[in-house]
Structure 1
Amino acid sequence: MREKESYPIGTRLNQMFFQSALPWLMPIGLVLLFVYFYPVFEIVRLSFTDATLIDDNHIYTLDSYRNLLSNPNFFQMLMTTCIFVFFSILFQMLLGFIVAIVIDQGQKRGLKGTVITRTAVLTAWAIPGVVIGVIWKILYNETDAGIINYLLNTVGIETIPFLSDPQMALFAVIFANIWRGTAFSMILIYAGLKTLPTDVIEAAKIDGANAFQRAIKVILPMLAPMLLINLVIISIDTFNTFDMVMALTGGGPGQSTEVISLSIYSTIFNQFNLGQGAATSVILLGINVLMTIVYILFLGKGGNK
């Protein structure tokens, strides 16, 4: 028999190293280290300082968190963010479900226009948030140039202060965000509908269940995993909404539409308070991490089934 070849320990270690996934993961690991982990570390570190954009000197302190939590505007901003997120998510999922059902049924029945409808809905998702904010600002304009108010005036309805009234401004921002985010929910739910077993739905139809009963008692339970994934993803996205609100209202009038991401921008770049802005960022990071953990745990349970 041929004797088994022996290699030096260094050669065997090199072979094991290059046969593993580590060399291939190192480049992306370095990118994540410098592009993501280091900035996150710096934000957390600065949140425990009194750093500003005006002075390079700072000391480590908890004053940023103390001032933030003792500021009544902070809790008002959190309330505004929660209202914005809750109603945005609620109607994005509801309208996304309805549109997905309509398109799916239209395709099954061979109706014309389903592709155009799907494309029109997807257009809102493809447009950048800043552009959406500018578009809706034009639509909400309270002068004669405002398209919505112009149409309302033609039927005898007085001009509505969409962007100058605090309560109306928050409603206007929520409505624009619903218009923007419905497309994403529609995509996920439509994809989920395509995976449903048709025999179960047909059996419910034969048993006498009408369209509403089939949607509530048959389709929704089977779509529950996809709906939960959709819920987590759009929750994270909505909590981080910045560009559209910035372009539409800038957080005004007053602070009536200032969501948490916009508050971070205002604190750092308008008030030059880097420490408190970093503390607010850490709170937003904690919210995102919590929702991401829920998402990962759900995927883990789904993968074990």
Structure 2
Amino acid sequence: MAPVQSRSKANARRQGAVWPWLAPALLVLGGFYLVPLFDVLRLAFGNATLLRPATEYGLDGIGQVISAPALPGILWSTALFTTASVLGILALGLAVALLVVRGEMRQLWGMTALRTVVLTAWVVPGIANGLIWQMLFSEAPFGAMNSMLGLVGIAPIRWISDPGNAMFSAVIANIWQGTAFAMIVIYAARRGLDPDLYAAAAIDGAGPIARFYFITLAQLKPALLVATVLVTIQTLNTFDVILALTGGGPGRATEVLSLYVFNTVFYSFDLSGGAVLALILVGIAMGLTVVYIRLLTRDPRPRA
């Protein structure tokens, strides 16, 4: 009993000795991330604008923002844009990553070029991405997409001026740029899988679909969780692509919550209103993160 107690006391002393070394880093990181958040909380309860600081504090500003007639439609647009973008980015990123890994295993030519092409879209600034797709979706005679459709006898499509098509166009532009990040995360995780798992499954008679579901997807769960969380947060904060592509229109068909924050602060000069909307955005991101963790880390096996 005495050796066990002495070991536990030694472990406690070692753990206590770690905190003085970690404390400075924790204080710096905590101050760097928490101070701006506390300042946003302070602004949310005030009446500050870009032209003057807050002169009074209360709940009136929060109530006005939450009860704004435009907010439900903007939240719906945000849900559509985020859901479609995240699903598209993850699906395409997974497909490209698995294709590249399989091509490298078979020593096929062009895998490096494929990775480079996908990564090129990632480094394009959001504003430039929106402008590129605006030219592609242009409804003028020189628009690339409608020109190609005309070659096969299909009538021009109102990609940007039609409310339904405008959201689809914004999603396509966001998927084009965001696929690279999901591909990188999934590619790195897939390269780390043990090939013996697939060899053993093949010996046991598992087909390609079974190997994909029970080995690839099962082993990639941690990477998929990371990619899903980060892609969701990135998509929720995306407004530059939409700003350059549609400006949030037609009407407010593509005005997502992040763009609404931007418009509230920099066009309406309502700094406190923008802070309230930013906190709503943070709450949505944290809620979705919790849901993802619950879904992707739970044990699928039935309990006894």
Code of the aligned partner of 1:210: G
- Residue deviations 1:89-128 (CA, integer Å, cap 9, x gap): 1111111111111111111111111111111111111211
Distance 1:56 1:185, change over 3 A: closer
Q: Distance in 2 between matches of 1:159 and 1:122?
A: 31
Residue equivalent to 1:171: 168
> Once structures 1 and 2 are overlaid, which stretch shifts more, 216-225 or 289-298?
289-298
TM alignment of 1:4-23, pairs within 5 A: 20-21=20-21
Q: Secondary structure at the match of 2:178?
A: helix
Quick one: which of 109, 112, 134 aligns to 1:112? 109
Q: Distance in 1 between matches of 2:250 and 2:60?
A: 29
Q: TM-score, normalised by structure 1?
A: 0.83
Residue equivalent to 1:10: none
Distance 1:86 1:293, change over 3 A: closer
Code of the aligned partner of 1:114: M
Contact conserved, 1:241 with 1:261, CA < 8 A, in 2?
yes
Residue equivalent to 1:235: 232
Q: Distance in 2 between matches of 1:41 and 1:145?
A: 50
Q: Secondary structure at the match of 1:209?
A: coil
Contact conserved, 2:46 with 2:54, CA < 8 A, in 1?
no
Residue equivalent to 1:248: 245
Matched residues, number = 282
Q: Distance in 2 between matches of 1:105 and 1:273?
A: 52
Matched, 1:286 2:300: no
Contact conserved, 1:169 with 1:257, CA < 8 A, in 2?
yes
Matched, 1:44 2:41: yes
Quick one: which of 257, 261, 270 aligns to 2:258? 261
Quick one: which of 92, 99, 115 aligns to 1:95? 92
Distance 1:184 1:62, change over 3 A: same
Q: Distance in 1 between matches of 2:78 and 2:54?
A: 33
Code of the aligned partner of 1:275: S
Distance 1:233 1:40, change over 3 A: same
Code of the aligned partner of 1:202: A
Q: Distance in 1 between matches of 2:35 and 2:211?
A: 50
Q: Distance in 1 between matches of 2:207 and 2:157?
A: 41
Matched, 1:221 2:221: no
Residue equivalent to 1:25: 25
Residue equivalent to 2:192: 195
- Residue deviations 1:151-178 (CA, integer Å, cap 9, x gap): 1112111111111111100000011111
Q: Distance in 2 between matches of 1:43 and 1:23?
A: 25
Quick one: which of 205, 210, 215 aligns to 1:208? 205
- Residue deviations 1:29-59 (CA, integer Å, cap 9, x gap): 2x873x6443322221121123333555632
Quick one: which of 141, 153, 158 aligns to 2:155? 158
Q: Which runs of 5+ in 2 are unaligned?
A: 1-16, 299-304
Q: Distance in 2 between matches of 1:196 and 1:81?
A: 36
Contact conserved, 1:236 with 1:291, CA < 8 A, in 2?
no
Matched, 1:123 2:120: yes
Q: Which runs of 5+ in 1 are unaligned?
A: 1-16
Code of the aligned partner of 1:229: V
Q: Secondary structure at the match of 2:193?
A: coil
Q: TM-score, normalised by structure 2?
A: 0.84
Residue equivalent to 2:50: 53
Code of the aligned partner of 1:159: P
Q: Percent identity?
A: 41
